[in-house]
Amino acid sequence: MAHDTTLTDAHGHDDHHHESPVVFGFWVYLMTDCIIFGTLFAVFAVLHDQFAGGPTGKELFEIGGLAAETALLLVSSITYGFGMIAAHKQEVNKVIMWLGVTFLLGAGFLGLEINEFRHLIADGAGPDRSAFLSAFFTLVSTHGLHVSFGLLWIVTLMVQLSGTTEIPERMMNKLTCLSLFWHFLDIVWICVFTFVYLASMM
């Protein structure tokens, strides 16, 4: 007679860990986001040399500010990772602290990006100047909008965690989904930095 090899804990719960349907559904959402960004990258690739007599990327972009933006976003992924480690240890106060640090780094990135846009528009290099700039502003601002949404999400989770002493499974799923989203934005930014900024400056 065959024996059931499934292990159960002291409370009779199945010991096998299955991915939450919420997290799986969020993976599906990220795939649709990949399609959106892939389309925007394709559009930029087609229009990247359509300057209409206007300024080129080599004339507009500065590596110093871009390096600062990139550093802020990359470090914010690391700090969010520290937050997830604390979450798995049920250290609520540390989770809130690392979320706060991640928020500040993300806000710094967004501030530098907005400042860059402001300078470009003030110099007459707005999205209506050429097809190149239209594609550039559309792609980069779409990423920026995603970062803005991520920052709002971080604040929401910090508020929800305030006053609690433990992190239930539902909250862990929310933190995991935000982790996927935030790291995804990092990957997209690396592509933007490489294929939009650096390639345009060569």
Residue spans per domain, the chain: 43-48+55-201
Q: Choose the CATH number for 43-48+55-201 among 3.50.50.60, 3.40.50.10440, 1.20.120.80, 3.60.40.10.
A: 1.20.120.80
pLDDT for position 21: 78
CA distances to 6, 7, 15 from 3, rounded to whole Å, are: 9, 11, 16
Q: Global pTM?
A: 0.86
pLDDT for position 122: 94
Q: Which of 19-33, 48-62, 93-107, 151-165 has the lowest mean pLDDT?
A: 19-33
pLDDT for position 201: 86
* Mean pLDDT computed over every residue of the chain: 89
Look up tokens 């500065």; give the residue: 62
Q: What is the pLDDT of residues 18-32, one digit of tens each?
A: 457 778 888 888 999
Instruction: Answer for the pair 70, 165: CB distance below 8 angstroms, yes or no.
Output: no
Give the relative orientation of helices 131-161 and 92-122 as an angle to the nearest 10 degrees. 160
Q: What angle do CA 198, 33, 183 make, to 5 degrees?
A: 65
Q: What is the pLDDT of residues 31-65, one digit of tens each?
A: 999 999 999 999 999 999 999 888 998 999 988 88
Instruction: Answer for the pair 119, 111: CB distance below 8 angstroms, yes or no.
Output: no
Higher pLDDT, 77 or 165: 77
Band (pLDDT 50/70/90 cuts) for residue 14 is: very low
Interval 118-141 mean pLDDT: 95
Beta strands in the chain (DSSP E): none
